[in-house]
Amino acid sequence: MTEWQAASLVALGAVVFLDQWPAVQSMISRPIVVGPAVGSILGAPADGVLWGAAFESMLLAIQPVGAARYPDAALAGLLGTAAAIMGMESGIYPAAWAVAVAAGAGWAGEVVGRLQRRRNARTAAAVLSRVSAGSLGAPARGIATALARGAALGALQTAAGLAVVIAGTRLLAGSPWAGPLDAHGLRIAAAAMAGVAGARVLGLGRKRVVSLVLGAAAGLALVFLGVSG
């Protein structure tokens, strides 16, 4: 990995951290988008698409509803895809390693997200006290502070994660148990994960079973026609 690539991934980490919940929520932080972005940066866009789809299906069932604590899907997608592509460059196709990295990154990112929310409480208290004193610009300054801190945390956690991924990939490079699952196998696993996660998250009633069967027929037809073969 070149310095430029590492810097681009760290910058991407900052952007997707903010998009995930503090700003806009345009969903550019979802693995299905982050995967191709990481792939493009690392010079393997097609692999990025595949891994992005795999991680999206893995994290599909997680919803930021109520007071739920949920894994950091952006960091999971970013570091998982990076681990997969860097592993492939090392001559292996490390499916289990990449998924393990994504699972660990999701958990670690959630901890960092909680830290940011705790720090935000101090920022909010400072804003309230300044507005009480008559300052109208305090909320804007508080928001700028929180966003800057979020971007820094996003960049920092990505940089730390990349260091772990690089070290882990070097360790695994010589191990025959590191992978090796090819793209074909991964597509099958990701398709199964997407189907099951979708059916469970969206629910299966009588009418929806018909939709599911019709969809399955369409999926089979795609393979027959060679579109996805």
Partner 1 sequence: MKQERGLSRRLRRERRRVALRSTLVQAVWNYDSLQGIGFGWAILPGLARIRPDRGERAERLLANLGTFNANPYLASIAMGVALRLEEEIARGAAGAERRLARLLHALRGSLGAIGDDLFWSAGRPALGLAAVAAALATGSVWPAIVYVIAWNALAQGVRLAGVRAGFAAGAAVVRVLQDPFWAKAARTARAAGIFAAGAGLGMGAGLAVLGGGGLAGGAVFVAIVGFLWLAGTQIGARGPSLSPALAFLAVAALLSAIFHLSQGALP
Chain residues 168-187 in contact with partner 1, contact rule CB under 8 A = 175-177, 179-182, 184-187
Indicate the residue among 3 and 67 with the shorter CB distance to partner 1: 67
For residue 89, the minimal CB distance to partner 1 (Å) is 18
In which residue are the tokens 């820094």 written? 152
For residue 223, the minimal CB distance to partner 1 (Å) is 3
Query: DSSP string of 168-223?
Result: HHHHHTT-TTS----HHHHHHHHHHHHHHHHHHHH---HHHHHHHHHHHHHHHHHH
Looking at 6, 11, 103, 166, which residue binds partner 1 (CB under 8 A)? Answer: 103
Q: Which residues from 23-52 bind partner 1, rule CB under 8 A? A: 23-28, 30, 32-33, 35-36, 40, 45-46, 49-50, 52
**Under rule CB under 8 A, residue 111 binds partner 1:** no
Residues in the chain: 229
Indicate the residue among 55 and 157 with the shorter CB distance to partner 1: 55
By CB under 8 A, which span of 9-17, 153-161, 165-173, 192-200 interacts with partner 1? 192-200
Tokens, residue 152: 């820094």
Per-residue x/- track, 60-99, partner 1 (CB under 8 A): xxxxxxx-x-xx----x------------------xx-xx
Nearest to 104 by CA among 68, 67, 81, 79: 79
Query: DSSP string of 28-63?
Result: TTSHHHHHHHHHHHTT-HHHHHHHHHHHHHHTTT--
- Is the distance from CB of 78 to CB of 40 less than 8 angstroms? no
